[in-house]
């Protein structure tokens, strides 16, 4: 479970990146954060991973405060970034083994690693290929494989489908569905309203650091999510 309570971040230059944001992502839910650039989506992820400290509020993963006990909290989370950047000179297997070890997994054999990679749809020849020869889609899949093999209760994804071709994006979403079925609480930030509609159980719409709306799947399953998004943004702009 991912919990965010009254989370606020004001940078040293006075910019308010997050303004009292509160939401909870229970196990088995995909929560998509939508918003323009600078809305505070990545700042939220950065606070959850303790890359930066919040000015106010609390963020926790599986009940562990992300900023007071970051090492404890990070035991329960995996992170998939916009561009999964791993070690180009290493093979996919070597990369996976290293990050699995960092994730606390021990005694892994090659077949375990290979199974994880097959599960995310990486072709057989990719297993022993050097990462510098991977396409972006393949790297994103490997990022998912890292998350899979660590097997944490929560997963953070920062614009994971950005720059992926439609086929790779669809394959990626398929993997997300599988993760949801395994009970993972997934926070995904994205600009891609189309993908968010396809995959999200709930969407949060952010504007200038504020969470202006949270919509359930039932609200947008048969509606135009883009229209909802634009309406909410306009309403937030006109709000006093």
Binding stretches for other proteins (CB under 8 A): 46, 49-52, 69-72, 74-75, 77-79, 81, 83-90, 94, 98-99, 101-104, 106, 150, 156
Q: At 142, list the tokens.
A: 């490997």
**CA dihedral sign of residues 65, 46, 172, 134:** negative
Biggest CA pair distance of the chain: 59
b/e code 65-74 from CB counts within 10 Å (16+ = b): ebbeebeebb
C-beta of 42 vs 175, nearer to other proteins = 42
As measured in angstroms, the least distance from the Cβ of 29 to other proteins is 21
CB of 12 to other proteins, least distance (A): 12
Three-class SS of residue 21?
Answer: strand
**Is there a contact between 96 and 145 (Cβ–Cβ < 8 Å)?**
yes
Does residue 126 contact residue 94 with C-beta atoms inside 8 Å? no
Of 23 and 98, which has the nearer Cβ to other proteins? 98
Instruction: Report d(CA 33, CA 200) in Å as an integer.
Output: 9
3-state secondary structure at position 19: strand
Q: How far is the CB of 96 from other proteins (least distance, A)?
A: 12
Residue 10 forms beta bridges with which residues?
Answer: 16
Cα→Cα distances 104→80, 100, 108, 218, Å: 17, 6, 11, 38
CA nearest neighbour of 28 among 134, 154, 114, 131: 154
Q: Which is nearer to other proteins, 71 or 239 (by Cβ)?
A: 71
CB closer to other proteins out of 72 and 201: 72
Helix axis angle, 166-181 to 136-150, nearest 10°: 10
Q: Whole-number minimum distance, CB 84 to other proteins, in Å?
A: 7
Shortest Cβ 226–other proteins spacing (Å): 30
Report the residue number, 68 or 177, with the smaller CB distance to other proteins.
68
> Which lies closer to other proteins via its Cβ, residue 146 or residue 233?
146
**In the complex, what is the shortest distance from the CB of residue 126 to other proteins, in angstroms, rounded to a whole number?**
18
């Amino acid at each position: 479970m991912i919990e965010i309570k009254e989370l606020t971040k004001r940078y040293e230059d006075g910019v308010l990146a997050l303004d009292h944001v509160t939401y909870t992502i229970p196990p088995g839910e995909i929560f998509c954060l939508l918003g323009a650039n600078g809305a505070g989506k990545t700042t939220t992820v950065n606070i959850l991973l303790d890359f930066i400290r919040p000015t106010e509020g609390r963020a926790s993963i599986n009940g562990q405060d992300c900023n007071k006990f970051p090492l404890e909290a990070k035991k329960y989370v995996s992170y998939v970034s916009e561009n999964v950047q791993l070690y180009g000179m290493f093979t996919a297997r070597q990369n996976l083994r290293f990050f699995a070890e960092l994730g606390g997994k021990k005694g892994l054999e090659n077949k375990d690693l290979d199974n994880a990679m097959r599960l995310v749809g990486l072709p057989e020849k990719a297993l022993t290929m050097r990462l510098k020869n991977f396409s972006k889609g393949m790297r994103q899949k490997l990022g998912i494989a890292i998350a899979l093999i660590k097997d944490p209760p929560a997963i953070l994804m920062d614009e994971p489908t950005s720059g992926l071709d439609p086929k790779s994006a669809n394959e990626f979403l398929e993997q997300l569905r599988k993760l949801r079925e395994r009970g993972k609480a997934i926070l995904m930030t994205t600009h891609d309203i189309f993908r968010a509609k396809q995959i999200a159980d709930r969407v949060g719409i952010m504007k200038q650091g504020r969470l202006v709306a949270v919509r359930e799947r039932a609200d947008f399953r048969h509606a135009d999510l883009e229209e909802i998004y634009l309406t909410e943004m306009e309403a937030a702009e006109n709000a006093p």
